[in-house]
């Protein structure tokens, strides 16, 4: 018997008026895996993940969550997905608690479950003090925004988490909390895909990695398969190409 992957990107393609941002991107996230999607700036990570979670319509290809097609059956697929998108737009006038309540009600969750999970999430993510003071999202730091974004992704207890740059602007103490949450999520049978530029973090956290460059998947497998005994950063640089600065470039600096 074969088991469906938890999450499957299958030939996802997007052409932005001549810029092929994603060129038949296929990545499978097995059940219980924490998969890192890494690639240089502009490689197509956000484009691929946005298509995979139903936020951006692909030109070709599809994505499946536990076998359910995200574009053919979005209601069922999205009930299983928790998403932290890049540049998440949040209702700025709400506090974190109000936002989670609003989000939960939109998802049709019972109010008492929303209240209990909100209290716990705000406490664990250390947003409870801001909540007590009535701080609104508009006043949040970038790291606080990431955290409330993660809380909204977790609130309905999804099976698959898709997190675009979850550690961006998050301080080291909070990053530990985020890592612990992710490990707990996977230990409880969930599956995660994160995009990140931070290779050490991917090596520490992920059991699988896919490297994407110029819209194409150039390596994909377990962390050890992709590393092949080297450091992930070295494999990454050799696959995506190194940019060095010639002697004469930036000569005006310090002149
Ligand atoms: N809405 C859009 N319209 C036109 N081009 C776009 C759009 N979104 C992305 N692109 C282009 O598609 C390519 C891939 O961008 P994308 O944001 O997916 O990369 P990324 O790997 O997430 O980059 P980063 O690590 O810098 O966030 C880039 O060349 C980008 O300029």
Q: Nearest CA to 149 among 180, 170, 134, 132?
A: 170
Query: Percent of the chain, pLDDT > 70?
Result: 99
What pLDDT sits at residue 245? 79
**What confidence tens digit (pLDDT) does each residue in 208-220 have?**
999 999 999 999 9
Question: Closest residue (by CA) to atom 31 of ligand 1?
Answer: 42
What pLDDT sits at residue 155? 95
How many A from CA of 66 to the centre of ligand 1? 27
**Distance between CA 89 and CA 74 in Å, rounded?**
20
Please report the ipTM that was assigned to this predicted complex.
0.96
Cβ(18) – ligand 1 distance below 6 Å: no
Domain positions in the chain are: 89-157
Q: Residue 28 pLDDT more than 90?
A: yes
Q: Which of 9, 13, 37, 42 to mutate to test the pocket of ligand 1 (most atoms within 8 A of CB)?
A: 42
Query: Percent of the chain, pLDDT > 90?
Result: 68
Q: Which of 20, 43, 86, 236 to mutate to test the pocket of ligand 1 (most atoms within 8 A of CB)?
A: 43
**Distance between CA 35 and CA 13 in Å, rounded?**
20
What pLDDT sits at residue 255? 67
């Amino acid at each position: 018997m074969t088991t469906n992957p938890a999450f499957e990107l299958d030939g996802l393609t997007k052409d932005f008026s001549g810029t092929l941002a994603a060129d038949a991107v296929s990545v499978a996230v097995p059940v219980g895996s924490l998969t890192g999607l890494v690639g240089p700036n502009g490689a197509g990570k956000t484009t691929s993940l946005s298509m995979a979670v139903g936020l951006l319509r692909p030109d070709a290809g599809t994505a499946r969550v536990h076998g359910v097609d995200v574009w053919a059956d979005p209601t069922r697929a999205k009930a299983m997905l928790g998403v932290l998108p890049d540049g998440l737009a949040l209702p700025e006038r709400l506090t974190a608690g109000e936002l989670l309540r609003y989000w939960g009600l939109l998802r049709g969750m019972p109010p008492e479950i929303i209240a209990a999970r909100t209290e716990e999430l705000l406490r664990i993510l250390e947003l409870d003090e801001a909540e007590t003071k009535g701080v609104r999202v508009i006043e949040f730091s970038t790291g606080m925004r990431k955290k409330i974004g993660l809380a909204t992704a977790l609130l309905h207890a999804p099976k698959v988490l898709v997190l675009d740059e979850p550690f961006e602007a998050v301080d080291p103490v909070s990053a530990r909390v985020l890592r612990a949450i992710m490990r707990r999520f996977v230990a409880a049978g969930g599956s995660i895909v994160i995009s990140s530029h931070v290779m050490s973090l991917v090596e520490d956290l992920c059991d699988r990695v896919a490297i994407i460059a110029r819209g194409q998947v150039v390596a994909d497998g377990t962390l050890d398969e992709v590393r092949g005994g080297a450091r992930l950063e070295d494999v990454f640089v050799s696959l995506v190409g190194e940019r060095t600065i010639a002697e004469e470039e930036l000569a005006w600096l310090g002149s």
